[in-house]
Amino acid sequence: MHHALDPTGIAAFLADWGYLGLFICVFVGNLGVPVPEETVLLAAGFLAGRDILELRTIYLVGIASAVTGDCAGYAFGRTGGQRLIDWLAATFRALQPSIERLRAFFATHGAKAVFMARFVAGARFVAGPMAGATGMRFWRFLGWNLLGAVIWCGLVITIGYLVGDELEHVAAIAHRAGHLAAIGFALAAALLWLAFRLRRTRSDF
């Protein structure tokens, strides 16, 4: 396999490993392993456009792997995530503001944060554990998780199917867009955390 961000290398990997390779890549990406999920799904759609993989099966496998990956993160959050988050905040003081911002974001947006995180590179793998750690009900989490996966996977795979010979160019755009979305997500979380702190400060007086 070529470099992890090389879409042609990923396409070659998927051509060899097929649907199992697609499932593993998206699943572990949702657990925080640094796998470029957008590029993987784009490459899978690209292969479907060349009749190497079957489009409907790619949709099903992509959605299933995204949902199960997030559910595994949720299970971790429910069983030990809160203790781990508290330990990280106590051990690494520099992380405490970021953790507070994430908690404020989930407290404000609830299950909708699970849906929004699906479209932000670097935030997807946090959504499941954070939802579990904050006590979100599983069926509510699953509904928003499934909705986000259906829209996100469907959109990215379809773009890959339609790009023709422009896979590398489209993958580069998707990669940059994911980083921009991550910055926007972080700024939104920071503003919500600030608003949350100001509200608490006022209530103390």
What confidence score (pLDDT) does residue 29 get?
Answer: 86
What confidence score (pLDDT) does residue 154 get?
Answer: 92
167, with CB counted inside 10 A (0-12, 13-18, 19+), is buried
Per residue of the chain (205 residues), give pLDDT as tens.
333 446 677 888 898 999 999 999 999 988 877 788 888 998 898 888 888 999 999 999 999 999 999 999 899 888 877 676 677 667 766 656 766 766 677 777 777 888 888 887 667 777 888 888 878 889 999 999 999 999 999 988 988 888 755 545 444 444 544 444 444 444 554 555 555 555 555 555 5
What confidence score (pLDDT) does residue 1 get?
Answer: 36
Alpha carbon separation from 166 to 10, 113, 143, 187 (Å, rounded): 15, 32, 34, 32
What confidence score (pLDDT) does residue 126 get?
Answer: 78
What confidence score (pLDDT) does residue 178 get?
Answer: 46
Strand ranges in 68-140 using DSSP code E only, listed in sequence order:
none
C-alpha dihedral, 20 to 22 to 23 to 28, nearest 10°: 120
The residue ranges of every structural domain in the chain are 7-203
**Cβ atoms within 10 A of the Cβ of 6, count?**
17
